[in-house]
Amino acid sequence: MALEFPKNFFWGAATSAHQVEGGNYNDWSEWEKANAERLAEEAHKKWQPWQQEKFPEMFEPENYISGRACDHYHRYEQDFDIAKSLGHNAHRFSIEWSRIEPEEGKFDEKEIEHYRQVILALTAQRVEPFITLWHWTNPLWIRDIGGWENKKTIEYFLRYVAYVIKLTGIGDTVKFWIPINEPSVYVGHGYVIGTFPPQVKSFARANKVLKNLIIAHRQAYKLIHKELGNEVAVGAVHNYHYHTPFRRWHPLDLLATKVFHYICDVRSSKWAKDCEDFIGLNYYYRDTVKFVFGGGRFGLIDIKNPNKEISDIGWDIYPEGVYRILKDLKKYGKPIYITENGLADSKDGKRAKFIKEHLCWIHKAIEEGVDVRGYFCWSLLDNFEWDKGFWPRFGLVEIDYKTLERKIRPSAWEYKKIIENQAEFTP
């Protein structure tokens, strides 16, 4: 049976400013420089032999410094031409706060004009912009006051949001707004396991940051609607893993799964449910949860994925998980956009199958009454993958980081076939 998606469905890909633009100066760019040598050395223990052999660049400190990245800042028109040629009618990207307000209270009109031109370049192509206002990076002056641990950051963030939407004219063009990206991931990696800046391991500080991000989202939601009216849609983006017990019969594994699911997913959904017009769902893999008596990755909880099929960075490929999550999210009664879904696959041998199988499960959820309205691959371009650097390749478009040449991967053309010939797309 052929699969047909709803009329006016959004098809596209996603990026974030720090990962593709190049030339950013923020808390992440400074952290990279201070930690590049350490990350290169730790790669010897962190990654499997097959990964080390396949990606020897992981041992080079420069791999971990974003630098010019994909130079999307200067090449966005070229990149949007590519997206349009691939049949995309929507694109999700982020605005870099540290460009707009590099010093406290000093807004850079040249940079806001840049983002205005970015948006106009999309709308000229009839590509719908989905704007993320904060995708993990902070201006240095925010870092220096304690980042999101400081309540004043909420006030400063709202001032930045107001400037972007009210004083620039961008608000007249953009319908879809995402104030905060993946707060649970930011908090978990930055304040619990300590792999992202500021590399803290404190549940108390983590809870403080999460609470402030929650307040920031809720107040930004109200601010955007106050300034732009009810014609715009403001949503929260959550990262979900599909959590299953390692031993389905074991009560402690069942309990551990429920606890882990609540901490990672439910908590970040509940806080936004009355301050979101849509749900942004980022889905990459499942986690199979096992209770252990100490020594687990998360104390008494460990992850034991089957890993029958994995990506280049070892993430378990499990397309059915997106269906299970969508069915669970149906209870919120909100439209849903798949705002990120993809895999690291440098040889492009698995990506087309990955996209098709996930879309089959998404379609099944739609048939069963889940209001899914769009799908964004992660990512349009190969990009800088945070503490992993450049070696993981997520792009529909391959980037030669020496020449910055763009090369469209075969999977991107397969994705286009799905977009343009839905009646011929069969599972």
Angle between helices 351-367 and 320-329 (to 10 degrees): 30
Q: Is-contact 229 247, C-beta < 8 A?
A: no
Pairwise CA distance, residues 8 & 89, whole Å: 9
**Strand segments (E) across 155-212:** 176-178
350 phi and psi angles, rounded to 5 deg = -120, -15
Cross-strand bridge partners of residue 90: 12, 128
Tell me how far apart the alpha carbons of residues 335 and 338 are, in angstroms, rounded to a whole number.
10
- Quick one: tokens of 270? 């509940």
d(CA 65, CA 33): 6
Phi first, then psi: what are they for 135, rounded to 5°?
-120, 60
What is the rounded CA–CA span in Å between residue 188 and residue 213? 13
Residue 89 near residue 57, CB atoms below 8 Å: no
32, 182, 340, 414: the active-site residue: 340
340 flagged as catalytic:
yes
Cα(first)–Cα(last) distance of the chain, in Å?
A: 8
How far apart are alpha carbons 45 and 66 in whole angstroms? 22
- Separation between Cα atoms, residue 178 and residue 282, nearest integer Å: 13
Q: Is 302 helix (H, G, I), strand (E, B) or coil?
A: strand
The pair phi, psi for residue 300, each rounded to 5°, is: -85, 0
Residue 187 dihedral angles phi and psi, to the nearest 5°: -70, -45
Which are the catalytic amino acids?
Answer: 340
